[in-house]
């Protein structure tokens, strides 16, 4: 899509990608380990750091960056580069969220405040 073409501004605001929150949410939606968007700082001084964290999380999913964190945080980034990078995520198989991969059970039916209690942590096989 070309800037100024019909529907360009209605479909996506490119500035939404600069702070790293959108790409972090995209990675998290695929089961990646990016920071929660609400925990990222919105100050432009932190955008490059936010992007670097998201790019590292994307690499762990197997998506290599097309642009650097500095380029992604730039307000005047070429939107086609952002689109190309985001398009690579369509090939990442969706994984369940991390909290669905771990189970915790108590080894007793009761507990008291200040008293030790035994519990069991285990990983859940998602292929079952």
Non-local CB neighbours of 18 within 8 Å, separated by 6+ positions: 44, 47, 72, 73, 74, 75, 77
Topology, domain 8-95: Actin-binding Protein, T-fimbrin; domain 1 (1.10.418)
Please say if the pLDDT value at position 68 is more than 90.
Answer: yes
Whole-number pLDDT of residue 94: 74
Model pTM score:
0.68
The torsion angles phi and psi of 88, rounded to 5 degrees, stand at -65, -25
Could you report the per-residue pLDDT of 69-108, keeping only the tens digit for each?
A: 999 999 888 888 888 999 999 999 877 767 778 888 888 8
Closest-CA residue to 93 (of 128, 50, 52, 63): 63
- SS3 at position 88: helix
pLDDT digits (tens, 9 = 90+) for 3-57: 554 444 545 555 678 999 989 988 988 888 899 889 999 899 999 999 999 999 9
What's the pLDDT at 5? 47
Residue 127: band (very low, low, confident or very high) from pLDDT cuts 50, 70, 90: low
Q: How far is CA 47 from the centre of its chain?
A: 14
d(CA 28, CA 33): 6
- pLDDT confidence of 125, banded at 50, 70, 90? confident
Tokens of 62: 């197997």
């Amino acid at each position: 899509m070309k800037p100024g073409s019909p529907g360009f501004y209605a479909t996506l605001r490119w500035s939404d990608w600069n702070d790293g929150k959108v790409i972090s949410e995209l990675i998290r939606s695929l089961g990646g380990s990016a920071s929660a968007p609400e925990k990222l700082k919105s100050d432009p001084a932190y955008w490059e750091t936010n992007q670097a964290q998201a790019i590292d999380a994307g690499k762990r999913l197997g998506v290599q960056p097309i642009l650097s964190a500095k380029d992604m945080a730039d307000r005047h980034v070429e939107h086609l580069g952002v689109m190309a990078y985001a398009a690579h995520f369509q090939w990442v198989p969706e994984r369940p969220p991390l909290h669905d991969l771990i189970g915790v059970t108590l080894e007793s039916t009761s507990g008291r405040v200040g008293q030790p209690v035994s519990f069991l942590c285990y990983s859940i096989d998602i292929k079952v």
